[in-house]
């Protein structure tokens, strides 16, 4: 089982006018993955960026591209994100009636598949899709915006950790929303091993990125 904590800065908080230098600086600062928040103004009340922007970022780092699709429907676009160079493609359980089909599609394209639950969605939504999941993402804000306050769902995170351990499969448990050096301690203690952080990763500009990541790992 994975025990090391991985930090996945959310590019949503980067300077969009300078994505190449932002990606390179965050890579050099020790980011493990890049978390890419795709929003459609329909599933969530905000629009961010899509596959062409991710494709443009792809040559600037070798690190894992972890795309979080906040779009409905998602199936018609999954191939675009695979071809843009995403390594892990995560879809919302609430984005449509067929999350199992979406996960099958992601796997058929040779990519790692993730399933994400909004704060209001119970862990039972995972029960019949765990066999297909390489990653479970628990939202600790209502998705759509960076910079929101952490919702304490540590009991939920711990319940998913138990489900993953019982499955016997090496499934990442990722948490997204309001993660800071302080809330990072809570979610790590509850069993999360991948922490998404937008505001807390990019605050202070490039000179601060390495210390921001260390603080999120609990090494600060
Ligand atoms: C919210 C996104 C998050 C967001 C996190 O809908 O899924 O990934 O960028 O931002 P912070 O870390 O600022 O809460
Ligand atoms: Zn996200």
- The pTM assigned to this predicted structure is 0.98
pLDDT over threshold 50, residue 32: yes
Angle at 29 between CA 18 and CA 35, to 5 degrees: 65
Residue 131 pLDDT > 70: yes
Q: Is the CB of 40 under 6 A from ligand 1?
A: no
Per annotation, catalytic residue among 37, 40, 66, 134: 37
How confident is the prediction for the chain on average, in pLDDT?
A: 97
**Is 162's pLDDT higher than 90?**
yes
Q: Is 37 a catalytic residue?
A: yes
**73-122 pLDDT tens trace:** 999 999 999 999 999 999 999 999 999 999 999 999 999 999 999 999 99
Q: How confident is the model at residue 68 (pLDDT cuts 50, 70, 90)?
A: very high
Q: In the structure, what pLDDT confidence band is assigned to residue 160 with cuts at 50, 70 and 90?
A: very high
**Whether 99 contacts 121, CB under 8 Å:** no
Which is the catalytic residue, given 32, 66, 134, 176?
176
Per the annotation, the verdict on 131 as an active-site residue is no
Ion ligand 2 nearby residues (CB, 5 A) = 37, 68, 176
Share of the chain above pLDDT 90, in %: 98
Distance CA 56, CA 46 (A): 21
Q: Ligand 1 mean position to 9 CA, how many Å? A: 9
Residue that is written with structure tokens 């138990």 in the block = 162
């Amino acid at each position: 089982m994975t025990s090391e904590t991985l930090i996945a800065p959310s590019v949503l908080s980067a300077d969009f006018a300078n994505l190449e230098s932002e990606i390179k600086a965050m890579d050099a600062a020790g980011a493990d993955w890049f978390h890419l928040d795709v929003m459609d103004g329909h599933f969530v009340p905000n629009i961010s960026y899509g596959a062409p922007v991710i494709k443009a970022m792809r040559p600037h780092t070798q690190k894992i591209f972890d795309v979080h699709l906040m779009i409905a429907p998602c199936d018609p676009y999954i191939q675009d994100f695979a071809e843009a160079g995403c390594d892990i493609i995560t879809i919302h359980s609430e984005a449509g009636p067929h999350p199992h089909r979406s996960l099958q599609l992601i796997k058929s394209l040779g990519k790692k598949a993730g399933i994400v639950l909004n704060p209001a969605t119970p862990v039972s939504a995972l029960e019949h899709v765990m066999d297909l999941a390489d990653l479970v993402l628990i939202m600790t804000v209502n998705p759509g915006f960076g910079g929101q306050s952490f919702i304490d769902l540590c009991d939920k995170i711990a319940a998913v950790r138990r489900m993953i351990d019982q499955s016997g499969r090496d499934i990442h448990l990722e948490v997204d929303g309001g993660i800071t050096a302080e809330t990072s301690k809570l979610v790590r203690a509850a069993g999360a091993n991948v922490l998404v952080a937008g505001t807390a990763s990019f605050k202070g500009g490039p000179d601060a990125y390495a210390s921001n990541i260390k603080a999120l790992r609990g090494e600060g």
